[in-house]
Amino acid sequence: MGGAMLTPAFAKNGNTNTPGISIDIVKTLHKDPNVPVPQDPVVFNIQPGTQADINVSSYNGNPIYPGIANVFPSTVSIAPVANTTTIIQSGNPVGYSNHATLTPSSTATFPRAGIYRYVVTEQTPTYDGLALTPNSTASYYLDVYVTNNVTTNAKEVTDIIAWNAGQAGASTANPSTFKVDQFDFSNTYTTHDLTIQNYITGNAADTSLVFDYTLKVNTTEPNQTLYVQMPDGSYQTLQATNGVATLPNIKLGQNQTFTVYGLSANDTFTVTETNPQPDYNVSINLASGDKSDDTVDAMTETLTGKVGTSDDTWNFVNYRQGTVPTAFFTTYGPYVAGVAVLGGLGYAMFRKKKDNE
């Protein structure tokens, strides 16, 4: 190349001699409302492109080479956005407030002038329920333009161009066709919810009673955050410690519920009614969802299960039935004394009524 100046075909910064050339990696998360954001950092790879990433030898007369080492860090990470109430309750895509900035090293030594290609990808998420968003960009090319300084003959980075490597024919195309101003990566966090509803029924039931419940979740992720809507409509955050999250003393009256959000498919749960009342029978029934991985123990008033791939609602039914219908006292009460006196006649009258029923 001699002392010729390489001119980038499409300058990202508008001035190829501007020092401190850089570009950002930006992260967006898609989730349901009332779901906390996973708090594990997101990691990205910046690797020198290989010959397979270069199907043309030059662009606008500028030779293209696989990237060299030590120009960028091999990995960078982005810390997640904090779980504020607004963030948790949002059902819109959540943009991470932190970005990762890539700047070519000022000490990198390039063997010659030309375009050096790198590939930027997100490491496959391992957090349960977290995945790359379908149809989003999975990788980008990052081209570093290196020129000869006509005075010192030093090799200098004069520009970088970022472009979408996922487009068909990207490796042979004009970079400006797929140029981007930042690396946008998107994840989808798939979770499910569990609702527990309390019913009090039966002709001798006291519908003013309040029943206590305890929730225990064994989370797949040791630091997983859940969100619980309480029976009064308020919300509270439930943080797992070493993979266990427990919420005791949830008080449910007639027809009241609590709902747990942010459960991933491999989480397991236990819900127990802790203060069953004398003379009440307890049944536990699936109202909606999938019970294939769930177990009911009515003797201990306990439901255990695996979250799976559905949103589930379970009913705890507290049932009390009197041994004598309540209507007996209003229908036959005035005649009790007479029956005692009349003896056989009273029995005959009562028996006759029963026979005619």
How much is the pLDDT for 57? Answer: 66
Q: pTM of the entire structure?
A: 0.80
Q: What is the pLDDT of residue 292?
A: 83
Whether the pLDDT of residue 2 is over 90: the answer is: no
Q: What is the pLDDT of residue 11?
A: 38
Residues 107 and 232 in one domain: no
CB 308 within 8 A of CB 294: no
**Does 43 reside within a domain?**
yes
Same domain for 49 and 70, yes or no, is yes
- Whether residues 107 and 229 share a domain: the answer is no
Q: What percent of the chain has pLDDT over 90?
A: 63
| Residues 168, 248 within the same domain | no
The pLDDT assigned to 177 comes to: 64
Residues 5, 152: Cα–Cα separation, whole Å: 12
pLDDT range class, residue 47, cuts 50, 70, 90: very high
**Same domain as 201, residue 125:** no
**Whether 212 and 292 share a structural domain:** yes
Give the span between the Cα atoms of 267 and 211, in whole angstroms.
Answer: 25
| 17 pLDDT above the threshold of 70 | no
CATH of the domain at 79: 2.60.40.3050
Q: What is the mean pLDDT of residues 43-55?
A: 89
Percent above pLDDT 70 for the chain: 80
Looking at 132, 157, 189, the residue that finishes a domain is 189
Q: Is residue 338 part of a domain?
A: no
Confidence bin at 332 (pLDDT 50/70/90): very low
Could you tell me the pLDDT band of residue 145, with boundaries at 50, 70 and 90? very high
Confidence at residue 324, expressed as pLDDT on a 0 to 100 scale: 55
- Note down the domain range covering 209: 192-319
Q: Is pLDDT above 90 for 330?
A: no
- Least confident stretch, 49-63, 77-91, 144-158, 234-248: 49-63
pLDDT of 340 strictly over 70: no
> Based on the domain organization, do 84 and 232 belong to the same domain?
no
217 and 290 assigned to the same domain = yes
Is the domain of 179 the same as that of 87? yes
Most confident of 17-21, 263-267, 294-298: 263-267
pLDDT tens for each residue of 188-208: 999 999 999 999 999 999 999
Confidence category of residue 322, pLDDT binned at 50, 70, 90: confident
DSSP letter for 276, please.
P
The beta-carbon contacts of 147-156 under 8 Å, at least 24 apart in sequence, are 147/5, 147/6, 147/16, 147/113, 148/1, 148/2, 148/3, 148/4, 148/5, 148/6, 148/113, 150/3, 150/5, 153/3, 155/109, 155/110, 155/111, 155/112, 155/113
pLDDT tens, 102-128? 999 988 999 999 999 999 999 999 999
Domain boundary among the residues 157, 189, 221 is at 189
> How many structural domains comprise the chain?
2
Residue 123 lies in a domain: yes
260-289 pLDDT, tens digit per residue, is 999 999 999 999 999 999 999 999 999 999
Q: Within 13 Å of residue 71, how many CA atoms lie on the same side as its CB?
A: 28
pLDDT for 10 beyond 50: no
**Residue 101 above 70 pLDDT?**
yes
In a domain, 252, yes or no: yes
Give yes or no: residues 141 and 27 share one domain. yes
Residue 267 and residue 200 in one domain? yes
CATH classification at residue 287: 2.60.40.1140
Average pLDDT over residues 233-247: 97
Whether residue 102 is found in the same domain as residue 51 = yes
Domain end, chosen from 189, 221, 244, is at: 189
